[in-house]
């Protein structure tokens, strides 16, 4: 399965979840909006944090969603690399393996867009 397939599958799963529990997913969406729009850190920085957490918690669906958001926010491959290095430093071997997945995801998704 490609990362673009994973993105499509994740979106399908989230749409089904939204239909099943709309109030809960709407509330979660509100929390996401509040934390991304409020505070002192810029949006892209917050997404870098989210990507690091996605790698540390080994969540492929989270990785693809946050990589997509970072691409849209103008993140460079070098910026992604800095986040991946920090994640590896904090999470050791397992984070290194998921950092490799995140880089593969970024490369695939930017190649498809360009």
CB atoms within 10 A of CB 86: 16
pTM score, two decimals?
Answer: 0.87
DSSP state of 109: H
Asked if 51 and 83 count as a contact pair (C-beta separation under 8 A), the reply is yes
Give me the pLDDT at residue 48, please: 98
Q: Distance between CA atoms of 100 and 33, rounded to whole angstroms? A: 28
What domains are there in the chain, each with its CATH number?
3-113 (1.20.1290.10)
What percent of the chain stands above pLDDT 90?
A: 91
pLDDT at residue 108 tops 80: yes
DSSP code of residue 99: H
Query: CB-based contacts of 83: which residues, under 8 Å, 6+ apart?
Result: 48, 51, 52
Question: With contact defined as beta carbons under 8 Å apart, do 84 and 99 qualify?
Answer: yes
């Amino acid at each position: 399965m490609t990362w673009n397939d994973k993105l499509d599958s994740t979106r399908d799963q989230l749409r089904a979840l939204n239909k099943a529990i709309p109030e809960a997913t709407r509330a979660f969406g509100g929390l996401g909006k509040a934390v991304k729009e409020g505070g002192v850190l810029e949006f892209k920085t917050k997404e870098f944090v989210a990507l690091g957490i996605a790698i540390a918690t080994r969540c492929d669906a989270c990785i693809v969603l946050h990589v997509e958001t970072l691409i849209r926010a103008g993140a460079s491959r070098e910026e992604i690399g800095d986040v991946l290095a920090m994640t590896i430093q904090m999470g050791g071997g397992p984070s290194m393996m998921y950092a490799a997945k995140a880089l593969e995801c970024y490369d695939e998704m930017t190649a498809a867009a360009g």
